[in-house]
A and B are shown apart, each in its own frame.
Chain A
Amino acid sequence: EVQLVESGGGLVQPGGSLRLSCAASGFTVSGNFMSWVRQAPGKGLEWVSVIHSGGRTDYAESVKGRFTISRDNSRNTLYLQMTSLRAEDTAVYYCARDVSCSSISCYGPDGFDIWGQGTMVTVSS
């Protein structure tokens, strides 16, 4: 079954750090564009970061220099290392797979066809 399962969320103080994990099954993270997307309580969706199949990484301006996306191909797992956390980082964090990659190539980026269930991150003292 194709799925993503996030973990690692929780309560952290402002200025603190947290690492989120996203375990993939049914496909390889290394062969796809993999992203983190967040949603603050009662708010809309906000893209956070992507790691392309070739290893290139991109970040939203709001997290650049504070968050780092990475992947472990042997564990088929995506990570988001978050440092210098702020109250405005409070959100449900989802990992998501871009639909544009096949076993041969990627035409995208396009949209996200597979989403995890989300993990809640709360930044508060």
Chain B
Amino acid sequence: SYELTQPPSVSVSPGQTASITCSGDKLGDKYACWYQQKPGQSPVLVIHQDTKRPSGIPERFSGSNSGNTATLTITGTQAVDEADYYCQAWDGSNYVFGTGTKVTVL
């Protein structure tokens, strides 16, 4: 079965850039998307189709996808960005979620 691997945690200082990677076999050949989830809340789509931001998502969130790795970048990280982040892709018959990354804003 297809797997997507993320680092368990990422720490970032306010105002700095946070990068979260998502690795999977030939992931660059698929659409990658990213979700933000805060405790007790439903996930929120922040990036889809590799690079697109849904309406209402701040410009500091950006995405890329090439080769075996998709990356979510948060530029000018704010305290409000502290959350769990999940990548996701479609493998032809299943949606697959990444293992999740906890972003801590120190």
Could you mark each residue 95-125 of chain A with 1 if its beta carbon is under 8 Å from any beta carbon of chain B, else 0? Answer: 0000110000000111111011110000000
Given contacts A99-B48, A113-B48, contact A50 B95 (CB under 8 A): yes
In-complex Cβ contact of A58 among B31, B86, B93 (8 A): B93
Please state if A110 and B86 are interface contacts (CB–CB under 8 Å): no
Contacts of B84 in A (CB 8 A): 44
Tier of interface size on chain B: 20 to 34
A110 to B89, CA, bound (A): 7
Tier of interface size on chain A: 20 to 34
Please state if A45 and B43 are interface contacts (CB–CB under 8 Å): yes
Please state if B43 and A113 are interface contacts (CB–CB under 8 Å): no
A46 to B88, CA, bound (A): 10
Given contacts A111-B33, A112-B43, A113-B48, contact A44 B99 (CB under 8 A): yes
10 A-B pairs with least C-beta separation: A111-B33, A111-B48, A47-B95, A115-B42, A109-B90, A44-B100, A45-B97, A113-B45, A111-B45, A110-B48
